[in-house]
Amino acid sequence: MIYTTVTTHQELEQIHALNKANVKQNFTADQMQQNGFLTWLYSLELLQQLHQLAPSVIAKDGDVVAGYALVTPREAAAFHADLQLMISHTDDMVYNGKPLKAYDYYIMGGICVHADYRGQGLVNGLYLHHKTVYSPRYFPLVTEISTSNTRSQAAHEKVGFRTIHTYNDGVDDWNVVVWDWA
């Protein structure tokens, strides 16, 4: 398995296909509990816009994208309405005694591992590559996890994320989690 950042349009197409196959609308409640799920569907156009700001991290098995962890800088709020809403919720949350907006944080916009590669440590590998590539530029890494996505919450905690806030956006309850690289 090779961990790298997106460099080709074909990789973005594979991320899009993997994203589309794993959004919660495609799963029963039991499947979501067992496998986890993605909340947001990213269009190929949106993935291209995000990639222009900061390439996302992928795990590759040959030419196959086995998993991805999207890099979503706060600047992406200009063309991503859901991210704009998320940032409006997170910017004023307190982390280590300061509002998050006082930090040069970025948001991990979604992480997914293809079903054939689950249980092989790819989530940890994807996040370690995030740290390698983006820790010189950003601090900390922030994301939100639906409180009903217990598999994702456990995977993030295993990597080192900790919950700093929980809120309801009118649709779902969310844990805001931070990975402190220091």
Domain ranges, ordered by start, for the chain: 2-179
Question: Average pLDDT of the chain?
Answer: 89
Instruction: Please give the CATH superfamily to which domain 2-179 belongs.
Output: Gcn5-related N-acetyltransferase (GNAT) (3.40.630.30)
Angle between helical axes of 44-53 and 9-21 (0-180°, round to 10): 130
**Cα gap 52→20, rounded to integer Å:** 21
pTM of the complete model: 0.87
Positive/negative CA dihedral, 162, 142, 39, 64: negative
What pLDDT score does 89 carry? 82
Going by pLDDT thresholds of 50, 70 and 90, the confidence category of residue 29 is low
